[in-house]
Structure 1
Amino acid sequence: MATATSACNAMLLMAFVVAAALSTPSRAQSPLQYNFYANSCPQAEATVRNVTEGIIAKDRTMGAAFMRLFFHDCFVRGCDASILLDPTANNTQVEKKAIALRGYDAVNKIKAAVESDCPGVVSCADILAFAARDSAVVSGGFASFAMPSGRRDGTVSNFIEVLQNIPSPIFKLQELIKNFAAKGLSIDDLVTLSAAHSFGQAHCSFVNGRLYPTVDPTMNATYADTLKTVCPPPGSNGGDPVINNNRVTDPNVLSNQYYSNLVTGQVLFVSDQQLMNSSYTAAKVANNSADAATWMGQFAAALVKMGRIQVLTGTAGQVRKYCNVVKS
């Protein structure tokens, strides 16, 4: 799920200094609840599921887009839908300006459907969580699993906090472990959730450092050659094409194929290949590659765990009418 671009590297030192000076509002620590909307909007999860399924049926790439939005949302300010907020005259540098993500219009479509059933009840933060869960079901063949809810929507979105919190595609293993630990996630969670790179897309700029001027020796040479047919050398005026994260099997299926690709050096990012750099994580990779059913259970549990990061609950935050704007 590494997503920072090399173009941002020059800004990182300044970003960390500025971010350290920013104060973060306290977050409610009340637990989320399963079936939170049982009385207030009993059809909420079914509505999200039906619209999400329809969106993915029309465009299979959207499953990964929903999953990536949920990850970005939770890792920056906690799972509060701050990733969805549009720029305003008072805040032109919101989270979505830091990295190009897909799916904003799709989330608005889901929200509109839920609002038509139960106006002002279901938060955008919960919609992101439900849509990520449903994407695992639709795009990964998972049995449906319970996703706790009761999140409230935040009112702050800050570009710099993306640079501070989202792991870079060039992170080394210890940096990844530290990044996940800061969010209350374990090494096991890191290995498990990294398989979200079994589907979705990335720009060549995320991987060019492993291809040029020489191929990263940890990358499969044949795989590198195929990537070079799509990804031009930096500065060659070839643009920045989009490539599939998984170029070995179906790029729109969430699966444990990621781990087989990893063992054979057929993954895009430095941060992916780093999972082979310790005996513990390499053993987890091997186990996940061999046992799809166990990995699926672990992925569902880790996704639920990630969805608890710094949530706003109770009377904190708000429930937005439109996901892209704060309710005044």
Structure 2
Amino acid sequence: MALAIILALVLYLSCQIEAQLLVGFYNGSCPMAESIIREEVRKAFFKDKGIAPGLLRAHFHDCMVRGCDGSLLIDSVPPNKAEKDGAPNGITLRGLEVVDCAKDRLEKECKGAVSCADILAYAARDSVVITGGRYWDVPAGRRDGRISRAAETIDIPAPFQNLDEITAAFAKKNLSQDEMIALSGAHTIGRSHCTSFSNRLYNFSPANSQDPSLDRLFAAQLKQQCPLNPRGNVDPYLVVSMNMSPGHFENSYYRDILAHRVVFTSDQTLVTSPESLSEVEDYAFNEQEWQNDFVDAMIKMSQIEVLTGTAGEIRSNCRVINP
């Protein structure tokens, strides 16, 4: 009986936290917030199409560490090494300057009203829409965290993980395997650094230097784009497109998985169980189903462990904790 009461209380409190995020949260305090953020995303996107996948990825990486609290945006200050300098981030982060520009304008428009965490959530939605994905209303009201530690980025799913590992990483954040597969479709846009998958080309296992699950012609193409240097390594700054249409948010990613033409182990592993294979096949041939499931999963993901009410703060500079 006591256990049932505790579980009910935990569920109630979880619902209360989510209920504090509201669509139209800034209608009264900063009615221009969404349009200002959208404008900054658009300006940046037309200069560099890679901004869209960069912002979407940044929101995901933020949410997977300490929840969606904008802690990814904090700069390292010795002796603390912040999330943005953790191994999964570092040189691969893109688009954070868009958050800075939006924040500067919002501070002039409505000082101290809009959190950096919410800016990132809106910018991720706008990045999907500008590349052809479905629009959704973003529940807002997140507040910014004051702690950012590179060591904690170990919670971010890695491109070399297998199905069980990546499913477990999402489960830690209360996201199901189905939601993980839907969210993985974000890899239909953007690019990857060669070092994120070069082990599949040159150093896969004692028995196979090349991952046998890779399409041979695709592997040959990747080797041309990601050659070994004289020291036997791949240049960490070399990048390749994630698929043949890296600027369009559509379901070709799932068809690429079925054709064994995806760069990450964590992508190809989605066909290694009957259940996950079935979902990949559904999404490969039903774009509307995937777009709908992606939006639902994004809304859920964007509410992971959020700070609301009087928790955290509203940073005046997204890179720096308030004094």
Between 149-158 and 30-39, the greater mean CA deviation after superposition = 30-39
1:30 Cα shift?
5.1
Aligned twin of 1:180: 170
Between 237-246 and 176-185, the greater mean CA deviation after superposition = 237-246
2: distance between equivalents of 1:238 and 1:215? 15
1:124 Cα shift?
0.2
Aligned twin of 1:293: 288
Residues 1:155 and 2:146 are matched in the alignment: yes
1: distance between equivalents of 2:126 and 2:218? 31
Aligned twin of 2:4: none
Question: Structure 1 counterpart of 2:85, which letter?
Answer: K
Question: Structure 1 counterpart of 2:123, which letter?
Answer: A
Count of residue pairs the alignment pairs up? 299
Partner residue of 2:83 out of 81, 95, 117: 95
Residues 1:109 and 2:133 are matched in the alignment: no
Aligned twin of 1:168: 158
2: distance between equivalents of 1:238 and 1:317? 41
Residues 1:252 and 2:253 are matched in the alignment: no
The verdict on how the C-alpha distance between 1:30 and 1:237 changes in structure 2, with shifts beyond 3 A counting, is: closer
Aligned twin of 1:44: 33
Partner residue of 2:236 out of 235, 240, 247: 240
Aligned twin of 1:267: 262
2: distance between equivalents of 1:224 and 1:256? 22
1:224 Cα shift?
0.1
2: distance between equivalents of 1:261 and 1:241? 24
Partner residue of 1:68 out of 52, 57, 78: 57
Q: Residues 173-204 of structure 1, C-alpha deviation per residue, up to 9 Å, x if partnerless?
A: 11111111110111111100101111112211
Q: Residues 182-240 of structure 1, C-alpha deviation per residue, up to 9 Å, x if partnerless?
A: 10111111100101111112211111111114221111000000000011237425523
1:137–1:144 Cα contact (<8 Å) kept: yes
Give % identity.
Answer: 38
2: distance between equivalents of 1:263 and 1:95? 34
The verdict on how the C-alpha distance between 1:125 and 1:119 changes in structure 2, with shifts beyond 3 A counting, is: same
Q: Counterpart of 1:76 in 2: which secondary structure? A: coil
2: distance between equivalents of 1:238 and 1:270? 17
Question: Structure 2 counterpart of 1:174, which letter?
Answer: D
1: distance between equivalents of 2:177 and 2:136? 23
2: distance between equivalents of 1:73 and 1:190? 16
The verdict on how the C-alpha distance between 1:56 and 1:215 changes in structure 2, with shifts beyond 3 A counting, is: same
Segments of 5+ residues of structure 2 without an aligned counterpart are: 1-12, 204-208
1:29 Cα shift?
2.7
The verdict on how the C-alpha distance between 1:196 and 1:143 changes in structure 2, with shifts beyond 3 A counting, is: closer
Aligned twin of 2:42: 53
Segments of 5+ residues of structure 1 without an aligned counterpart are: 1-25
1: distance between equivalents of 2:269 and 2:18? 35
2:218–2:261 Cα contact (<8 Å) kept: yes
TM-score, normalised to structure 1, is 0.87
1:244–1:251 Cα contact (<8 Å) kept: no
Q: Residues 27-75 of structure 1, C-alpha deviation per residue, up to 9 Å, x if partnerless?
A: 9935211111111111111111111112112111100000010011000
